[in-house]
Amino acid sequence: MAARATATIGLSTASVYPESTASAFELASRLGYDGVEVMVGIDPLSTQIDAVQRLVDYHQLPVLAIHAPCLLITQRVWGTDPWGKLERSAEAAKDLGADVVVVHPPFRWQRDYARGFVEGIARLEEETGVIFAVENMYPWRAPGKGLQAYAPSWDPTEQTYAHTTLDLSHSSTAEQDCVELAATMGKTLKHIHLTDGTGSAKDEHLVPGRGTQRAADLLNTLANQDFRGHIVIEINTRRSTSRAEREIDLVESLEFTRQHFVRGNRRSSFAVTPEGEISELTS
């Protein structure tokens, strides 16, 4: 018999863009989310930690994670030194009571940063006490070829990171299976960006369940494994024609997560053997 598992389900402020960080807190509180992931740089307010703290206090809703400003569109947010950005992200996380900083691997043209990235992330975790969960990315796909835009790799399982983030839209674009990728990540997996994709070269960030990633299987597998990290909804609602339409997507995403993050469903799941091979299990 299926039994409901407990998980902290958060809303990324990126999910309400082009609305603001303040809107994300209001929507998350009213719709029943457990907390918020702040995407730093998505709007000016997100860079003002005192202002974010006022939102936390007003809505009585915690910040679960800080997404460091490492997107192309946030390259100048909190300065241009990538290590300085991560140090400031850790400070923001501690000030706001979050335990995770989500970070992307460097772009290939950030050569010095990329060269010492793996060791530098380990150093920051030790110095700050904050988890830096490195997110899976994807090769940039063009007709007939793929561009390796990230270094040392777009796939964090190829490195020795202590903690990782799994984004289902990114695994879709990379033509990976999210359940198998979670199994490969193993105990390093601390954070989920729950979304979906259809395998397109475009990073789609669909409502979970509307694409071809096995989002329901992943949630059930994590529930059966007593996953204790954060599950954060990170979807693209930019094409919503109204606040009501955006809310429908956010409610559907939350309900999907609660429906499938349960123990005991008979779905396929995976584990990594001591030899490093992926084996299929049933629950």
Tell me the domains of the chain and their CATH numbers: 3-282 (3.20.20.150)
pLDDT along the chain (283 residues), means of 10: 73 97 98 98 95 98 97 89 97 98 96 96 98 95 69 96 98 97 98 97 96 98 95 97 97 97 67 46 46
Q: What is the pLDDT of residue 24?
A: 98
Q: What is the pLDDT of residue 283?
A: 42
pLDDT tens-digit profile of 119-145?
999 999 999 999 999 999 999 866 556
Q: By CB neighbour count within 10 A (0-12 exposed, 13-18 middle, 19+ buried), where does 235 fall?
A: buried
Q: Which long-range contacts (CB under 8 A, 24 or more apart) does 73-80 make?
A: 73/41, 74/40, 74/41, 74/42, 77/40, 77/41, 77/47, 78/40, 78/41, 78/47
pTM of the complete model: 0.91
Q: What is the pLDDT of residue 142?
A: 62
CB 229 within 8 A of CB 280: no
Q: Please provide the average confidence, as pLDDT, over all residues in the chain.
A: 91
What's 206's DSSP letter?
B
Q: What is the pLDDT of residue 146?
A: 61
Q: What is the pLDDT of residue 273?
A: 46
pLDDT tens-digit profile of 150-174?
999 999 999 999 999 999 999 999 9
Report the half-sphere exposure of 262 (CA within 13 A, side-chain side): 13
Q: What is the pLDDT of residue 230?
A: 97
| Rounded distance between C-alpha atoms, residue 106 and residue 103, angstroms | 9
Q: Which of 107, 166, 111, 100 is nearest to 136 (CA)?
A: 166
